[in-house]
């Protein structure tokens, strides 16, 4: 009985953490995942950094919203199927509520200067947090190879400058990965 109560308590703490992070993080899935990493890996030490990265890689491959996939996989890893379902619901609930409130308010009073400033501030804070996230992820790449980091930076700039459609970028990456895989398999 005591063990069941303890597991229930752990699940409630996990639900609270995800609810808090998804409610207070404005800017999308990657920002939410970054905050979850700080909490779940660094502060609470519920999983290792390696496990976190494996779950993140898997959630990026699965079709759908990365943060929702991630919440599902973390919930499944830590608390089974029940945890997966509850964490998924907990991760999308704040977004649904906030979007509903903003939509209702925007329809009623879209010329309100405070509302416009809130949206502008949200964009700025999201850009700053996204930049911090990019720096955090690129530190690992920079340690391995500065050439790869500079190449990635230049490719990103060129794609931005020439306004190339995302579909073409994905197809190009798919072809490059396929070519690398084929060459590696043939010559190893």
**How confident is the model over 129-156, as pLDDT tens digits?**
666 766 666 666 666 677 777 777 787 7
Residue 62 in contact with residue 165, Cβ under 8 Å?
Answer: no
> In terms of domains, do 50 and 123 share one?
yes
User: 99: which residues sit within 8 A by CB, 6+ positions away?
Assistant: none
Q: How confident is the model at residue 7 (pLDDT cuts 50, 70, 90)?
A: low
Structure tokens at 97: 């509520």
- Note the pTM of the prediction, 2 decimals: 0.58
Tokens 């340690």 belong to 143
Both 181 and 120 in a single domain? no
Average pLDDT, the chain: 79
Q: What is the pLDDT of residue 147?
A: 77
Domain match, 36 and 92 both: yes
Q: Domain limits at 100?
A: 2-144
State residue 170's pLDDT score.
67
Give the separation between CA 137 and CA 56, rounded to whole angstroms: 12
Reported confidence tier of residue 87, pLDDT bands at 50, 70, 90: very high
Considering only residues 9 and 173, tell me which one the structure prediction assigns the higher pLDDT. Answer: 9
- Overall domain count for the chain: 2
One domain, residues 127 and 161: no
Domain match, 11 and 92 both: yes
pLDDT band for position 5 (50/70/90)?
Answer: low
Same domain, 165 and 139: no
Burial class (CB in 10 A: 0-12, 13-18, 19+), 74: buried
Question: Are both 108 and 153 inside the same structural domain?
Answer: no
């Amino acid at each position: 009985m005591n063990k069941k109560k303890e597991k229930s308590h752990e699940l409630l703490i996990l639900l609270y953490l995800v609810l808090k992070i998804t409610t207070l993080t404005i800017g999308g899935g990657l920002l939410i995942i970054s905050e979850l990493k700080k909490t779940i890996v660094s502060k609470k030490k519920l999983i290792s950094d390696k496990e976190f990265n494996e779950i993140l890689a898997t959630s990026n491959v699965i079709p759908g919203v990365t943060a929702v996939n991630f919440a599902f996989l973390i919930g499944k890893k830590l608390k089974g199927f029940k945890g997966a379902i509850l964490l998924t619901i907990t991760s999308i609930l704040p977004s649904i509520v906030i979007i509903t409130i903003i939509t209702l308010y925007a329809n009623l009073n879209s010329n309100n200067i405070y509302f416009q400033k809130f949206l502008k501030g949200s964009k700025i804070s999201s850009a700053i947090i996204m930049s911090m996230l990019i720096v955090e992820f690129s530190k690992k790449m920079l340690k391995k190879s500065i050439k790869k980091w500079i190449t990635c930076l230049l490719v990103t700039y060129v794609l931005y400058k020439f306004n190339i459609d995302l579909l073409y970028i994905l197809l190009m990456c798919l072809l490059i990965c396929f070519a690398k895989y084929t060459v590696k398999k043939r010559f190893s």
